[in-house]
Structure 1
C-alpha cells in the first residue's frame, strides 16, 4: 500500500508540473496570438492609407467679380477631388493636407491682388499684393503676384477654395492652386 501511495503522490506532483507548463505555454501562445492580431491590424491600416491618394493642380484662373476663382486647366486631379465648376477642393478623407496658391495678375492696371485661401468658406490664409504709386504715378510696372501655402487638418467633406475680392485685377490666367493629402486619419 505504501508503494501505491508513493506512486499517487509522484503522479500528482508530475500532474501539477505538467499543468504549470501547460498554463505557461497557453499564456505564451495567447500573447503571440495578440501580437499577430495587432500586426495584422497595423498592416491593414498601412494598406488602407497607401490606397488613399489625393492630389490636384489647376491653373488658368478666371473670375467675374468678387468670388471663388474658377480654374479651367486641370494638370492633376488624383481622386477627382477638385471641381472646376465650383472652384473647390473637397476632402474625401479626414486628415492632414497641404495647399499652395499662386495668384498672378497680368493686367495693365494696378495689378492688385486681395485673395484668401478659405476652408469651408472661412479665411484660412490671405494673399495681398498692391502695386504702389508715388505722386499718383505707378511706381512699378509688370505683373502682380501673391502666394500662400497652408497645412491644415480637414474632416471628410470639408472644402478649400481661393476667393478674391473686387479689388483684384481680372487677368488671372497664370494663377495656380494645388493641394495634396499628407497623412490620412487611420
Structure 2
C-alpha cells in the first residue's frame, strides 16, 4: 500500500512543476510583447495564452482528482491498520483463552488423579469389608450350628435328668450304670458351657464388625467427561465416559445419579463453551423421590457481547439426599458448542 501511495503522489509534484513553468512562459511572452509584432504574431500569442489557460484548468482538475484519490488511499490505509490491530487483539484474546483452558484442563487432570487414588484406597476398604462380611457369614453359620447342638444337648440333658430322677427313686444298688451316668451329666454340662462361650464370642465379634462397618464410610461417587452431544437434550446433558462410578450409581444412558445411601453430597460441573455462540449454560438439578420438588443451581459461561474464543465456568452444590433422590445436569443451552472437556462429578461427603 505504501509503494502505491508514493506512485500516485509523484505525478502531483510533476504537474505542479509544469503548472509553474507554464505560468513563467506566459509572463515571459507578455513582457516581451512590447516589441513591434504583426497581427498574425499577435493572434498566435493569444492562441497560446488560451491554450495555456485551458491546460492550467486541466491540470487543476487533475490535481483535485489526485488529491481526492490520495485521501481515499489514506482512509483505506487507516482502515487496514485498524483491521490489522483488531486481528492482533482477537489473536491475543484467543491465546489467553487457550492458556486458561489449558490451566483448567491441568486442574481437571489433577482432580482426576486424586479421584483415581481415592478410588484405589476405597477399593481396598471395600475388599476388606467384603472379606469381613464373609467372616460374618461363617460366624453366623457356626452360631446356627452351635444353637442346634445346644438344643440337642438340652434334649439329652432332660433325658439324663429323667433317668437320674428315676435312679434316685429306686434302690441304688440295683442301678448298675450310676458311674457312667454321672460322667454323661458332666460331659453335657461341659458342652453347654462351651456352646454358651462360643455364642458369646460370636455375638461380640458380630458387634465389633457392625461398629467397624458403621465407622468406615464406603465412598460413593462419580466423575464424568466427554459430552455426548448426539444423545443429549435440553432437559438432560449426557456423557460418554465415566472416570469413577461406584456400583454404577450414575446411569450414563439416562444421564442421572440415583441416590442409594442417604447423606450429604457434593456436586460440581464445569462447562467449556466453544466459539460460535455467545453463551452456554446448564443447571445442577436435584429431584426429590415421589415429589415435584426440584432444587437447582445454574451456571452460565461465555459473554453476551462476543462469540469468539473459548470460555469456561464451574459451579458446585452441597445438598442432603435421601434414597431414591436424583441429580442431573438439566435445562441446558448451547450443547452443540460445549467442548469435550466439560465435566460433571459428585460424591458422598457423609452418610446418615
TM-score calculated relative to the size of structure 2: 0.36
Which digits, 9 at most, give the CA deviation of each residue in 1:123-171, with x for residues without a partner? 42110124232xxxx3x63112221111100000111001143x42413
1:80 to 248, 252, 258: 248
Report deviation, 1:110: 1.9
2:235 is aligned to 67
Report deviation, 1:111: 4.6
Greater share of residues in strand: 1
Q: What are the within-5 Å matches in structure 2 for residues 29-108 of structure 1?
A: 44-48=210-214, 50-63=216-229, 64-106=232-274, 108=275
2:280 is aligned to 113
Report deviation, 1:98: 0.6
Q: Is this contact kept in 1: 2:265–2:321, CA < 8 A? A: yes
2:297 is aligned to 125
The higher radius of gyration belongs to 2
Counterparts in 2 of 1:109 and 1:183: CA distance versus 1, 3 Å: same
Please, what is the CA RMSD of the aligned residues? 2.4
- Structure 2 distance, partners of 1:169, 1:112, is 10
- Structure 1 distance, partners of 2:280, 2:271, is 7
For structure 2, which runs of at least 5 residues remain unmatched after alignment?
A: 1-202, 289-293
Higher relative contact order (CA 8 A, sep 6+): 1
- Structure 1 distance, partners of 2:278, 2:207, is 54
Which digits, 9 at most, give the CA deviation of each residue in 1:17-48, with x for residues without a partner? xxxxxxxxxxxxxxxxxxxx9xx969735513
Q: Is this contact kept in 2: 1:109–1:169, CA < 8 A? A: no
Greater share of residues in helix: 2
Would you say 1:145 and 2:317 are equivalent positions? no
Q: Matched residue pairs, number?
A: 140
- Structure 1 distance, partners of 2:279, 2:234, is 13
Runs of 4+ in 1 over 6 A off after TM superposition: 40-43
